[in-house]
Structure 1
């Protein structure tokens, strides 16, 4: 884990926060990954979730094994269901995806 984690935050076993990524006031579940230049703020990533490079996740929940595509922005209590993939470049506000 080379990225910046500021608290209170919790990063689970085998989770990875890449160099240049930021996690602020969030939970990153076991085996979840936050790639380079991504930001996770005031959010929960369940186990195995993946936030691709340049994505921003704010005030949202990303389900188990879900993928948030590059340069995507989730905000305002968006919920991405387990196993769901959000395509790159999306802007989702208060969305519910299964």
Structure 2
């Protein structure tokens, strides 16, 4: 091959390379996924006094009356109805954790 032929091929190859880069850039810009909105976790369900009372009553029937009474006092009340509704979730977790030591 002559020098002129090689120079011509090199120029065509350079043009081809630039064209390929433009195509790749165009494809890359189109393929970028749209930002997905962040997924929101569902808000925890608000517990009612009746739901907490049911678990407390079940634990009491199972023989854990003193433990249930101790938890109610821990949350600053003499009766279950005296506990702030914002504390129901934490109280319920503690009530559910009460069990006979194996």
Using structure 1 for the length normalisation, give the TM-score: 0.21
- Higher RCO, 1 or 2 (CA under 8 Å, sep at least 6)? 2
Larger Rg: 2
| Bigger fraction of residues in helix | 2
Using structure 2 for the length normalisation, give the TM-score: 0.21
| Bigger fraction of residues in strand | 1
